Amino acid sequence: MAELSKAYEPGEVEAAWYARWLEGKCFHAEAGSGKPGYSIVIPPPNVTGILHMGHVLNNTIQDILCRRARQEGKEVLWLPGTDHAGIATQTKVERKLRDEGKTKRDVGREKFLEMVWDWKDHHGGIIIDQLKKLGCSCDWERERFTMDEEYSREVQRTFVHFFKQGNIYRGKRMVNWCPVSLTALSDEEVDMKPQQSKLYYMKYELVEEPGTHLRIATTRPETLMGDTGVAVNPRDERYGHLVGKHARRPFPAADIPIVADEHIDPEFGTGVLKVTPAHDKADFEIGQRHGLEILDVLHPDGRVNCPECPDLDGLDRFEARYVAAKKLEDMGLLEKTEDHENKVGFSERAGVPIEPRISMQWFLRYPQVGRATRVVADGEIEFRPPRWKKTYMNWMENIQDWCISRQLWWGHRIPVWYRKEKAVELQEAESLDAADLERGDLHVGTEPPGDPGNWVQDEDVLDTWFSSWLWPYATMDEPTRAKFYPTSDLSTGPDILFFWVARMIMAGLEFMDEVPFKNVYFHSIVRDLKGDKMSKSLGNSPDPLDLIANYGADGLRLGLMRIAPTGMDVRFDEKQIEEGRNFANKLWNACRYRLMQGEAAMGGPAAADRPAELPVYAIDILAKLDALGEQLETAYAAYKFNDIAAQLYEFFWSNFCDLYLEAVKNDFREGGERKAATLWTMDVCLSRFLQALHPFMPHVTEELWRTLGFGREGEFLMQAELPREPVLAGLDAAEARERAAAVYESASRIRNLKAEYNLASNKKVRLVVKPAGGWVEAEAATLALLTGAAAVDFDAAYEPPKGTPAALTAVGEVYLPLEGLIDVAAERSRLGKEIAKVEKEMAKSEAKLGNANFVERAKPEVVEQERGRLKDWQEKIAQLQEMLAGLG
RNA sequence: GCUCGGUUAACUCAGUGGUAGAGUGCAUCCUUCACACGGAUGAAGUCACUGGUUCAAGUCCAGUACCGAGCACCA
């Protein structure tokens, strides 16, 4: 039998068990298994990513679900993998090139992609190793990558499918353009952030009325070279007479028409808008309505493109803003500037303001929108918490076509080829769709044309999410799908509800004709104590690996799950992780204590070996153990992970250690049947508890399971099925539990009495008890053990010396004779206070029962309960008063 | 602007109609032969505010305030 160290050291234990699980193929999912299937696909982290607290939370949840499902006898597939993360990954390699003074164009597309693959092979997938450190039980044999050959083929098939269906088209549209990444972004990849900026009040001269000016407020003077109109609200009386006339754009000088458009808010600024159709979405639409020219005055990288204004040409857009304002000022056309807070769209990846830009892009009309809405509305897919349903519905109702093309190199290249001689013409064509296939100048397919020399492939790649949305089924081969698709649960952050979850539902319905998962659990967002979202850029996120090193993966997991509510967010506090570690240590030491009493039966305790005679404390803790099993089942069914964690914590620490273990310590010295019964009880509690805790703290539970000898050679705790029979099946525990509770409660009151009299908690005292029932005397030794009493005497006729401290407890009146320390006044005041407390409760109870409405209209059992309560109070007060009277 | 959350002990959070809870922190005691990553005891909440429904409201309804998120936007 192994000796256990005094404190649990997670480091080596965790690494050793992970290796053993792998070696034992414990995570392997067998498609041919006869057990019912359970599956989760991991939300694939970026291949370039490193583990952050959000990952820890999300993957702990998934691991818990998977490990629990295995315990329930299911064949479990947790399918892991990573995402190629177009922009993020490409950026890393571009940065490396830049350090060498090169750009990707210098090395060329082919070579560049080689470099990215090379980078991915050497530096990618760090996060996979980190997930292993966390204890994740993924089937690593099935690890997938969104750019695996098979997976890529699926992506291409998807594109071709929608193109031929007519739902993918190409066109020149206003898109979100990232001037750093030099690519279009979808609306979902843009974050609107409030910005402190300036509102510039400019004056444009009226062409038809020289000398008079139109005042215009703008936040973007640097785009005024692209102004091709000025707009006012048609109902704005101040400006109605000017509609149809012209204003003079200061530089480059031009006369631009004044138009009337409903979009203009007369309340904002001066009520006049300069219309720059090439650089603002709203302006673009106004321009369309009034036939205004589109004048692009910015380069793709955000520098000004306006040779007519040499002092601005080539400047960065923000620098140009100040130069343009200065220029207006010099011309006497800048009236004033005001501070102004507005919201600016930022590129989620690059962190810079996006630039609305007209460019040629590929779009997808979302498929299966109606059905995807219904499956969630009808509960075929459950959202937890359910309020995310509404957010989902809102998005589905206002859904816009998805810009799926990206001007990147790293990603799935669009499977479209143009016939060489027509390429230039086709690539500039206003629109392109399935109809163009007919002419034979276009090839759209998963295979390149047979004569590739005559064709040119589209330069763009697809949005990363255009591959991720196929994840639940594209990662599976046919036999795997047959067993594990649709998947059971999906756990993810609400921040990718639109990016990923909604789109997966649509793709699942379109291609598998089935929902991709039955439950979606939206976990909390991890914030710091100030409430800020944890992020690398804020530097407020602890490195989970440091936490694992300091507290163990198990400590991190339990600590986090205890505070992770099902609500909006969780405030991370390292203190909580420390508690997780402390819990592991508590568990460790309780098991260590068990080992000190002798070896456990190899293979663990058998429920059938339940001793005929069980002490009341044993019955009590076993009843709690049985109740725990039921409560956990309920909580798992509701995905209430923090509840589960709290129940596990409370059962073990409060009930098992603080109450039960403290009450039975004498048994080990006595030996005999009592000792055997207690050891059996401990073993049942420990083995079942280790199993119940296992999904949350897999390593330490597995270690202790083996050390205590609960498993046979070669058996893993993680593979053991949950017992179905309650330990106390067929036994009426009520009376025993009442007695155990009475002893616990009394012990607590007596310790309180000692404390009130400033007796050290380990001070040996003598107790005299007027027992409340004949059974009490049998519990004297336990009572003494729990209260630190040298002796407990029973004397129904005891007449205490005046002023003897006394407490009314569930085992009877308890006296604490304190020779030489008697203080009648103190005791009178103490009893008086207690009486006052009880009287207050009694008054409340009497008032309720005195209310005719209550007695008539409340549920009978509630009234009955209240009557019982009142009776208790009355009895108690009578006894207390008698004790008080005894003081003389 | 619209929508959705939140507001309970010093902190982090449970608690959806019937005697206000946990962990941490704090105070006091205990280095008792599992554990000081521990044990014991205790103090500490007009459950944000205002109304309403109900015999009964932290819990249900309406409104207000503040905090947060999502969506749409005013240049």
pLDDT tens column, A403-444: 899 999 999 999 999 988 888 888 888 777 777 777 788 899
Nearest nucleotide from residue A763 CA, by C1' atom: B30
CA of A641 to C1' of B26 (A): 30
Q: Name the closest nucleotide to A10, judged by C1' and CA.
A: B37
A617/B16 CA-to-C1' distance in Å? 34
- Nearest nucleotide over every DNA/RNA strand to the A760 CA, judged by C1': B29
Residue A134 CA distance to nucleotide B65 C1' (Å)? 43
Cα maximum dimension of chain A = 117
Q: Report the residue count for chain A.
A: 888
What ipTM did this prediction achieve?
Answer: 0.93
Between the CA of A388 and the C1' of B69, what is the distance in angstroms? 12
Rounded CA–C1' distance between A650 and B21, in angstroms: 13
Which tokens sit at A226? Answer: 């692209």
Residue closest to A642 by CA, chosen among A571, A718, A566: A566
Q: Which residue is nearest to nucleotide B31 (CA to C1')?
A: A762
Tokens at residue A653, please? 């620490």
- pLDDT band for position A888 (50/70/90)? low
- B41 C1' – A394 CA distance, angstroms? 55
A144 contacts A493 by C-beta, under 8 angstroms = no
CA atoms within 13 A on the CB side of A572: 25
A497: the nucleotide nearest its CA (via C1') is B70
For residue A888, the number of C-alpha atoms closer than 13 Å in the C-beta half-sphere is 9
Residue bearing tokens 């203190």: A575
Q: How far is the CA of A814 from the C1' of B43 (A)?
A: 25
A42 Cβ partners below 8 Å, 6+ apart?
A59, A62, A78, A79, A80, A81, A138
Distances (CA, A) of A668 to A8, A193, A338, A495, A705: 24, 66, 82, 55, 22
Residue whose CA is minimally distant from B38 C1': A586
A466 and A186 Cβ atoms separated by less than 8 Å = no
Report the nucleotide nearest the CA of residue A345, measured to C1': B73
Grade residue A821 by pLDDT with cuts at 50, 70 and 90: low
Residue range A572-584: mean pLDDT, rounded:
89
> What's the CA–C1' distance between A343 and B73, in Å?
9
Residue nearest to nucleotide B19 (CA to C1'): A841
Above pLDDT 70, what percent of chain A?
97
Residue A881 to residue A800: CA distance in whole angstroms: 15
**Residue with nearest Cα to nucleotide B25 C1':** A575
Which residue places its CA closest to the C1' of nucleotide B69?
A568
Q: Assess contact for A595 and A707: CB atoms under 8 A.
A: yes
Distances (CA, A) of A357 to A207, A403, A427: 30, 13, 18
Phi, psi of A345 (to 5 degrees): -80, 130
Q: What are phi and psi of A446, to 5 degrees?
A: -75, -20
Ramachandran class of A302: left when φ > 0, alpha when ψ lies in -120 to 50, beta otherwise? left
Nearest-nucleotide field for A759 (CA, C1'): B29
**CA of A528, C1' of B11: distance in angstroms:** 13
Residues 6+ apart with CB under 8 A from A689: A625, A628, A648, A651, A652, A656
Beta-ladder partners of A168: A364
Protein contacts on strand B: list nucleotides below 7 Å from a Cβ.
3-6, 11-15, 18-19, 22-24, 28-32, 34-42, 54-56, 67-75
- Identify the pLDDT of residue A400: 85
Answer for the pair A418, A458: CB distance below 8 angstroms, yes or no.
yes
| Averaged pLDDT for residues A199-219 | 89
The pLDDT mean for chain A works out to 89
Instruction: Return d(Cα A342, Cα A710) in angstroms, integer.
Output: 64
Residue that the structure tokens 């999300």 belong to: A58
CA of A9 to C1' of B12 (A): 26
Answer whether the bond into residue A385 is a cis peptide, omega within 30°: yes
Report which residue is nearest nucleotide B32 when distances run from CA to C1'.
Answer: A762
- H-type helices in A797-859, by residue range? 824-850, 852-857
For residues A794 and A778, give the distance between their C-alpha atoms in angstroms, rounded to a whole number.
11
Given pLDDT bands bounded at 50, 70 and 90, which one contains residue A531? low
Q: How confident is the model at residue A456 (pLDDT cuts 50, 70, 90)?
A: very high
Identify, with chain letter, the residue nearest to nucleotide B6 (CA–C1'): A568
Taking 50 as the threshold, does the pLDDT of residue A176 lie above it?
yes
Give the closest residue to A54 by CA, choosing from A642, A549, A535, A520. A535
CA-to-C1' distance for A529 and B10, Å?
Answer: 15
Both structure tokens of A574: 């390292």
Task: Give nearest nucleotide to A219 (CA–C1').
Answer: B75
- Nucleotide nearest to A390 in CA–C1' terms: B4
In whole angstroms, B31 C1' to A761 CA is 13
Q: Which residue is nearest to nucleotide B22 (CA to C1')?
A: A646
- CA A282 to C1' B62, in angstroms, rounded, equals 38
SS3 A104: helix
Which nucleotide is nearest to A668 if distance is taken from CA to C1'? B33
Checking each nucleotide's C1' against the CA of A590, the nearest proves to be B34
Nucleotide with smallest C1' distance to residue A344 CA: B73
Round to a whole number and report the distance in Å from the CA of A223 to the C1' of B70.
30
The two beta strands, A765-771 and A569-571, are unpaired
A530 vs A180 pLDDT, higher one: A180
Strands A144-145 and A168-178: unpaired
| Minimum CA–C1' distance nucleotide for A529 | B12
Q: How far apart are CA A410 and CA A147, in angstroms?
A: 10
For the stretch A148-173, pLDDT in tens is 999 999 999 999 999 999 999 988 88
Which nucleotide lies at the shortest CA–C1' distance from A854? B55
Q: Residue at minimal CA–C1' distance from B67?
A: A531
Q: CA-based angle A665:A670:A674, to the nearest 5? A: 80
How confident is the model at residue A1, as a pLDDT?
44
CA A229 → C1' B9, Å?
62
Ranges of H-type helices in A694-733: 698-707
- From residue A573, give the alpha-carbon distance in Å to each of A10, A298, A556, A576: 20, 46, 11, 6
pLDDT tens column, A102-149: 888 888 999 999 999 998 888 888 899 999 999 999 999 999 999 999
Which nucleotide lies closest to A217 by the C1' atom and the CA atom? B75
Å: A586 CA to B38 C1': 9
Question: What does the alpha-carbon distance between residue A140 and residue A151 come to, in Å, rounded to a whole number?
Answer: 17
For chain A, the first-to-last Cα distance in angstroms comes to 61
Choice among A279-283, A792-796, A825-829 with the minimum mean pLDDT: A825-829
**A771 upstream amide cis, omega within 30 of 0:** no
CA of A698 to C1' of B7 (A): 36
A705 pLDDT exceeds 90? yes
Average pLDDT over residues A594-611: 82
| Average of per-residue pLDDT across A722-729 | 90
Structure tokens belonging to residue A625:
């153990």
Which nucleotide is nearest to A571 if distance is taken from CA to C1'? B12
- Per the structure, the residue whose CA is closest to nucleotide B15 at C1' is A643
Name the residue closest to B70, CA to C1': A391
Q: For residue A805, what pLDDT band results from cuts at 50, 70 and 90?
A: confident
- CA–CA gap between residue A554 and residue A697 (Å, rounded): 5
Antiparallel, parallel or unpaired: β A806-809 and A229-232? unpaired
CA(A392)–C1'(B18) in Å?
Answer: 38
Distance in angstroms: CA A377, C1' B5: 20
CA–C1' distance A573–B36 (Å)? 22
Residue nearest to nucleotide B5 (CA to C1'): A568
**Is residue A2 pLDDT above 60, yes or no?**
no
- Residue A567's pLDDT is 60
pLDDT in tens, A492-519: 988 888 889 999 999 999 999 999 999 9
* Whether the Cβ atoms of residue A226 and residue A297 lie closer than 8 Å to each other: yes
